[in-house]
Structure 1
Amino acid sequence: MTTTESGYLSPVIDDDGAPFWEYAARGELRVQACANSGCGELRFPPRPCCPHCQSFDSEWRKMSGRGRIWSYVRPHPPLLPAYAEQAPYNAIVVELAEAPRIRLVGNLVTSADAPLNSVDPERLRIGARVQVVFTEVDGVTLPRWVLERT
Protein backbone atom coordinates (compact mmCIF):
# COMPACT_ATOMS: atom_id res chain seq x y z
CA MET A 1 0.00 0.00 0.00
CA THR A 2 1.06 3.54 -0.66
CA THR A 3 -0.49 6.84 0.34
CA THR A 4 -2.10 9.16 -2.18
CA GLU A 5 -1.86 12.95 -2.27
CA SER A 6 -4.99 13.10 -0.12
CA GLY A 7 -3.32 10.84 2.45
CA TYR A 8 -5.45 7.74 1.89
CA LEU A 9 -4.01 4.28 1.40
CA SER A 10 -3.92 3.04 -2.17
CA PRO A 11 -2.93 -0.41 -3.46
CA VAL A 12 0.35 -0.99 -5.24
CA ILE A 13 -0.78 -2.47 -8.54
CA ASP A 14 1.70 -4.98 -9.96
CA ASP A 15 1.50 -7.13 -13.11
CA ASP A 16 0.00 -10.11 -11.28
CA GLY A 17 -2.72 -8.09 -9.52
CA ALA A 18 -3.55 -5.61 -12.30
CA PRO A 19 -6.49 -7.68 -13.65
CA PHE A 20 -8.12 -7.65 -10.18
CA TRP A 21 -8.18 -3.83 -10.25
CA GLU A 22 -9.27 -3.68 -13.90
CA TYR A 23 -12.26 -5.90 -13.13
CA ALA A 24 -13.03 -3.87 -9.98
CA ALA A 25 -13.15 -0.72 -12.15
CA ARG A 26 -15.92 -2.50 -14.13
CA GLY A 27 -17.78 -3.38 -10.92
CA GLU A 28 -16.78 -7.05 -10.97
CA LEU A 29 -15.17 -9.06 -8.19
CA ARG A 30 -12.90 -11.64 -9.80
CA VAL A 31 -10.34 -13.96 -8.26
CA GLN A 32 -7.37 -15.56 -9.99
CA ALA A 33 -7.70 -19.32 -10.56
CA CYS A 34 -5.39 -21.99 -11.87
CA ALA A 35 -6.30 -22.79 -15.47
CA ASN A 36 -4.73 -26.26 -15.32
CA SER A 37 -7.67 -28.60 -15.97
CA GLY A 38 -6.55 -30.96 -13.21
CA CYS A 39 -6.35 -28.21 -10.59
CA GLY A 40 -8.57 -25.14 -10.89
CA GLU A 41 -7.72 -23.81 -7.41
CA LEU A 42 -8.59 -20.20 -6.62
CA ARG A 43 -5.80 -18.04 -5.21
CA PHE A 44 -5.46 -14.64 -3.62
CA PRO A 45 -3.34 -12.61 -3.60
CA PRO A 46 -2.66 -13.06 -7.32
CA ARG A 47 0.67 -14.59 -8.29
CA PRO A 48 2.25 -16.07 -11.41
CA CYS A 49 2.37 -19.72 -10.27
CA CYS A 50 -0.26 -21.96 -8.72
CA PRO A 51 0.88 -22.96 -5.21
CA HIS A 52 -0.99 -26.28 -5.56
CA CYS A 53 0.22 -27.66 -8.90
CA GLN A 54 2.91 -25.12 -9.96
CA SER A 55 1.15 -24.33 -13.25
CA PHE A 56 1.71 -20.89 -14.75
CA ASP A 57 -1.68 -20.96 -16.51
CA SER A 58 -4.32 -18.79 -14.87
CA GLU A 59 -7.72 -17.21 -15.46
CA TRP A 60 -9.92 -14.75 -13.59
CA ARG A 61 -13.21 -16.16 -12.28
CA LYS A 62 -16.16 -13.95 -11.49
CA MET A 63 -17.36 -14.25 -7.90
CA SER A 64 -20.86 -13.53 -6.60
CA GLY A 65 -19.53 -10.80 -4.34
CA ARG A 66 -21.17 -12.40 -1.32
CA GLY A 67 -19.30 -13.34 1.82
CA ARG A 68 -19.23 -13.10 5.56
CA ILE A 69 -17.22 -11.07 8.03
CA TRP A 70 -14.38 -13.31 9.17
CA SER A 71 -12.70 -10.69 11.36
CA TYR A 72 -12.71 -6.95 11.96
CA VAL A 73 -10.91 -4.16 13.77
CA ARG A 74 -11.71 -0.57 14.73
CA PRO A 75 -8.44 1.37 14.65
CA HIS A 76 -7.84 3.36 17.87
CA PRO A 77 -6.54 5.94 17.06
CA PRO A 78 -6.38 6.03 13.27
CA LEU A 79 -2.77 5.60 12.16
CA LEU A 80 -2.94 8.04 9.24
CA PRO A 81 -4.15 11.64 9.61
CA ALA A 82 -6.45 11.42 6.54
CA TYR A 83 -8.53 8.80 8.34
CA ALA A 84 -8.86 10.67 11.66
CA GLU A 85 -11.93 12.66 10.60
CA GLN A 86 -13.76 9.41 9.76
CA ALA A 87 -13.08 7.71 13.10
CA PRO A 88 -14.46 5.49 14.42
CA TYR A 89 -14.38 3.39 11.28
CA ASN A 90 -13.75 -0.30 10.65
CA ALA A 91 -11.54 -2.58 8.62
CA ILE A 92 -13.02 -6.01 7.95
CA VAL A 93 -11.75 -9.30 6.59
CA VAL A 94 -14.33 -10.98 4.35
CA GLU A 95 -14.41 -14.69 3.60
CA LEU A 96 -15.91 -15.18 0.13
CA ALA A 97 -19.03 -17.35 -0.04
CA GLU A 98 -17.88 -19.57 -2.91
CA ALA A 99 -14.22 -19.61 -1.85
CA PRO A 100 -13.92 -19.76 1.97
CA ARG A 101 -10.11 -19.86 1.82
CA ILE A 102 -10.09 -16.53 -0.03
CA ARG A 103 -10.27 -13.53 2.29
CA LEU A 104 -10.32 -9.89 1.26
CA VAL A 105 -9.82 -6.79 3.39
CA GLY A 106 -12.03 -3.72 3.10
CA ASN A 107 -14.47 -1.54 4.99
CA LEU A 108 -18.10 -2.13 5.95
CA VAL A 109 -20.18 0.86 4.83
CA THR A 110 -23.87 1.64 4.35
CA SER A 111 -23.47 2.23 0.60
CA ALA A 112 -20.66 2.32 -1.96
CA ASP A 113 -19.89 6.03 -1.58
CA ALA A 114 -20.70 6.35 2.12
CA PRO A 115 -18.00 7.52 4.53
CA LEU A 116 -15.95 4.88 6.31
CA ASN A 117 -17.73 5.66 9.60
CA SER A 118 -21.25 5.15 8.17
CA VAL A 119 -21.83 1.86 10.00
CA ASP A 120 -22.39 1.97 13.75
CA PRO A 121 -19.50 -0.03 15.30
CA GLU A 122 -22.05 -1.94 17.38
CA ARG A 123 -23.40 -3.52 14.16
CA LEU A 124 -20.10 -5.30 13.41
CA ARG A 125 -20.45 -9.06 13.92
CA ILE A 126 -18.25 -12.00 13.01
CA GLY A 127 -20.25 -14.10 10.55
CA ALA A 128 -22.47 -11.23 9.32
CA ARG A 129 -23.29 -11.69 5.65
CA VAL A 130 -22.02 -8.98 3.32
CA GLN A 131 -22.13 -8.04 -0.36
CA VAL A 132 -19.41 -6.24 -2.31
CA VAL A 133 -19.90 -2.72 -3.67
CA PHE A 134 -17.34 -0.60 -5.50
CA THR A 135 -16.28 3.02 -5.18
CA GLU A 136 -13.53 5.12 -6.71
CA VAL A 137 -11.03 6.72 -4.36
CA ASP A 138 -8.20 8.81 -5.78
CA GLY A 139 -8.45 7.14 -9.20
CA VAL A 140 -8.62 3.51 -8.00
CA THR A 141 -11.87 1.53 -7.75
CA LEU A 142 -11.95 -0.21 -4.38
CA PRO A 143 -14.17 -3.03 -3.17
CA ARG A 144 -16.12 -2.17 -0.04
CA TRP A 145 -18.80 -4.17 1.71
CA VAL A 146 -22.39 -3.61 2.78
CA LEU A 147 -24.53 -5.81 5.01
CA GLU A 148 -26.52 -8.25 2.88
CA ARG A 149 -30.22 -7.62 2.92
CA THR A 150 -32.07 -10.74 4.02
Structure 2
Amino acid sequence: MTWQRSRIRLDKDNRAFWTGGSEGKLMIHRCDDCDGFIHPPREFCRHCQSENVAPHAVSGLGTVDTYTVNYQKWAPDMEVPFVIARVRLDDAPDVILTSNIVNCPVDAVDIDDKVRVVFEEQDGFWYPLFEKVA
Protein backbone atom coordinates (compact mmCIF):
# COMPACT_ATOMS: atom_id res chain seq x y z
CA MET A 1 0.00 0.00 0.00
CA THR A 2 1.44 3.34 -0.91
CA TRP A 3 -1.34 5.89 -0.49
CA GLN A 4 -1.42 8.39 2.35
CA ARG A 5 -3.48 6.88 5.16
CA SER A 6 -5.58 8.93 7.54
CA ARG A 7 -3.64 10.51 10.39
CA ILE A 8 -4.30 9.03 13.79
CA ARG A 9 -5.08 11.15 16.82
CA LEU A 10 -2.72 9.73 19.43
CA ASP A 11 -3.66 9.59 23.09
CA LYS A 12 -2.28 7.82 26.15
CA ASP A 13 -4.37 4.73 25.47
CA ASN A 14 -3.70 4.16 21.76
CA ARG A 15 -0.10 5.43 21.47
CA ALA A 16 1.52 2.00 21.97
CA PHE A 17 -0.70 0.40 19.33
CA TRP A 18 0.17 3.00 16.65
CA THR A 19 3.89 3.32 17.49
CA GLY A 20 4.85 -0.23 18.61
CA GLY A 21 5.64 -1.19 15.03
CA SER A 22 8.79 0.94 15.22
CA GLU A 23 10.16 -1.89 17.37
CA GLY A 24 8.36 -4.60 15.38
CA LYS A 25 5.81 -5.13 18.16
CA LEU A 26 2.04 -5.40 17.89
CA MET A 27 0.85 -3.87 21.14
CA ILE A 28 -2.59 -4.83 22.44
CA HIS A 29 -3.95 -3.66 25.82
CA ARG A 30 -4.27 -6.41 28.43
CA CYS A 31 -5.74 -6.36 31.90
CA ASP A 32 -3.24 -7.34 34.59
CA ASP A 33 -6.09 -8.45 36.89
CA CYS A 34 -8.09 -10.82 34.64
CA ASP A 35 -5.63 -11.22 31.70
CA GLY A 36 -8.35 -10.13 29.26
CA PHE A 37 -7.29 -8.31 26.09
CA ILE A 38 -8.91 -4.99 25.23
CA HIS A 39 -9.09 -3.56 21.73
CA PRO A 40 -9.57 -0.80 20.83
CA PRO A 41 -7.35 0.26 23.72
CA ARG A 42 -9.15 1.75 26.71
CA GLU A 43 -8.20 2.96 30.16
CA PHE A 44 -10.21 0.19 31.83
CA CYS A 45 -10.91 -3.49 31.23
CA ARG A 46 -14.13 -4.29 29.40
CA HIS A 47 -14.17 -7.71 31.10
CA CYS A 48 -13.74 -6.86 34.79
CA GLN A 49 -13.76 -3.02 34.82
CA SER A 50 -10.26 -2.87 36.34
CA GLU A 51 -8.10 0.14 35.56
CA ASN A 52 -5.00 -2.07 35.76
CA VAL A 53 -4.49 -2.24 31.98
CA ALA A 54 -1.38 -1.73 29.88
CA PRO A 55 -0.06 -2.42 26.38
CA HIS A 56 1.27 -5.94 25.88
CA ALA A 57 3.28 -7.25 22.91
CA VAL A 58 1.51 -10.14 21.17
CA SER A 59 2.98 -12.46 18.56
CA GLY A 60 1.22 -10.81 15.61
CA LEU A 61 0.09 -14.18 14.27
CA GLY A 62 -3.52 -14.63 13.33
CA THR A 63 -6.17 -16.08 11.04
CA VAL A 64 -8.26 -14.41 8.36
CA ASP A 65 -11.80 -14.37 9.77
CA THR A 66 -13.37 -12.82 6.66
CA TYR A 67 -12.27 -10.48 3.88
CA THR A 68 -13.29 -8.46 0.85
CA VAL A 69 -11.42 -7.20 -2.18
CA ASN A 70 -11.62 -3.46 -2.84
CA TYR A 71 -11.56 -2.31 -6.47
CA GLN A 72 -12.57 1.33 -5.84
CA LYS A 73 -9.77 3.88 -6.15
CA TRP A 74 -10.70 6.62 -3.63
CA ALA A 75 -7.37 8.40 -3.68
CA PRO A 76 -5.18 9.39 -6.66
CA ASP A 77 -2.17 7.38 -5.47
CA MET A 78 -4.15 4.32 -4.30
CA GLU A 79 -3.22 0.99 -5.85
CA VAL A 80 -6.21 -1.27 -6.47
CA PRO A 81 -7.31 -3.96 -6.02
CA PHE A 82 -6.40 -4.72 -2.40
CA VAL A 83 -7.69 -6.94 0.40
CA ILE A 84 -9.44 -5.66 3.51
CA ALA A 85 -9.64 -8.43 6.11
CA ARG A 86 -10.67 -9.13 9.66
CA VAL A 87 -7.80 -10.91 11.40
CA ARG A 88 -8.41 -12.88 14.59
CA LEU A 89 -5.22 -12.73 16.70
CA ASP A 90 -3.94 -16.12 17.86
CA ASP A 91 -2.75 -15.10 21.32
CA ALA A 92 -5.23 -12.32 22.12
CA PRO A 93 -8.60 -14.03 22.46
CA ASP A 94 -11.58 -12.01 21.21
CA VAL A 95 -9.37 -9.42 19.47
CA ILE A 96 -10.10 -9.00 15.77
CA LEU A 97 -8.26 -6.34 13.77
CA THR A 98 -9.51 -4.94 10.48
CA SER A 99 -6.51 -4.43 8.23
CA ASN A 100 -5.05 -5.24 4.85
CA ILE A 101 -3.48 -8.45 3.58
CA VAL A 102 -0.36 -7.50 1.63
CA ASN A 103 2.52 -9.04 -0.34
CA CYS A 104 0.37 -11.52 -2.28
CA PRO A 105 -2.17 -11.45 -5.12
CA VAL A 106 -5.71 -10.60 -3.97
CA ASP A 107 -7.02 -13.93 -5.30
CA ALA A 108 -4.53 -15.81 -3.07
CA VAL A 109 -6.35 -14.78 0.14
CA ASP A 110 -9.00 -16.98 1.71
CA ILE A 111 -10.87 -17.41 4.99
CA ASP A 112 -8.82 -19.31 7.61
CA ASP A 113 -5.49 -18.33 6.03
CA LYS A 114 -2.71 -17.99 8.59
CA VAL A 115 -1.15 -14.51 8.62
CA ARG A 116 1.49 -12.50 10.48
CA VAL A 117 1.79 -8.81 11.15
CA VAL A 118 4.04 -6.52 9.13
CA PHE A 119 4.18 -2.76 9.64
CA GLU A 120 3.94 0.17 7.26
CA GLU A 121 5.32 3.46 8.58
CA GLN A 122 3.82 6.79 7.55
CA ASP A 123 4.61 10.03 9.34
CA GLY A 124 5.65 8.32 12.59
CA PHE A 125 2.63 5.99 12.72
CA TRP A 126 3.15 2.25 12.26
CA TYR A 127 0.12 0.67 10.62
CA PRO A 128 -0.27 -3.07 11.33
CA LEU A 129 -0.87 -4.95 8.08
CA PHE A 130 -0.76 -8.72 7.57
CA GLU A 131 0.85 -11.11 5.13
CA LYS A 132 0.20 -14.79 4.58
CA VAL A 133 2.41 -17.24 6.46
CA ALA A 134 4.19 -19.48 3.96
* TM-score normalised per structure 1: 0.79
Structure 2 unmatched ranges of 5 or more: none
Q: Does 1:122 align with 2:115?
A: no
Decide which of 52, 55, 69 is 2:64's aligned counterpart.
69
Give 1:143 deviation, angstroms: 1.2
Q: Does 1:148 align with 2:133?
A: yes
- Higher strand content, 1 or 2: 2
Higher CA-based Rg = 1
| Alignment partners' CA distance in 2, 1:131 and 1:138 | 23
| Alignment partners' CA distance in 2, 1:7 and 1:137 | 8
1:7-26 equivalences under 5 Å are 7-26=4-23
SS at match of 2:77: helix
Question: 1:74, 1:91 within 8 Å by CA — same for their partners in 2?
Answer: yes
The residue identity in structure 2 corresponding to 1:134 is F
Name the Cα RMSD after superposition: 1.7
Decide which of 110, 116, 132 is 1:131's aligned counterpart.
116
Question: 2:37, 2:93 within 8 Å by CA — same for their partners in 1?
Answer: no
SS at match of 2:97: strand
| Alignment partners' CA distance in 2, 1:13 and 1:91 | 23
1:77-119 deviation per Cα after TM superposition (whole angstroms, max 9, x unaligned): 1333332xx0111111110011241011221112xxxxxxxx2
Question: 1:8, 1:82 within 8 Å by CA — same for their partners in 2?
Answer: no
SS at match of 1:32: strand
| Alignment partners' CA distance in 1, 2:92 and 2:4 | 33
Match of residue 49 from structure 1: 44
Does 1 or 2 have the higher relative contact order (CA < 8 Å, sep 6+)?
Answer: 2
Aligned residues: 132
Match of residue 73 from structure 2: 78
Match of residue 96 from structure 1: 89
| Alignment partners' CA distance in 2, 1:127 and 1:26 | 28
| Alignment partners' CA distance in 2, 1:7 and 1:55 | 37
Deviating runs (4+, > 6 A) in structure 1? none
* TM-score normalised per structure 2: 0.87
Between 100-109 and 126-135, report the one with greater CA deviation. Answer: 100-109
| Alignment partners' CA distance in 1, 2:8 and 2:84 | 15
Structure 1 unmatched ranges of 5 or more: 1-5, 111-118
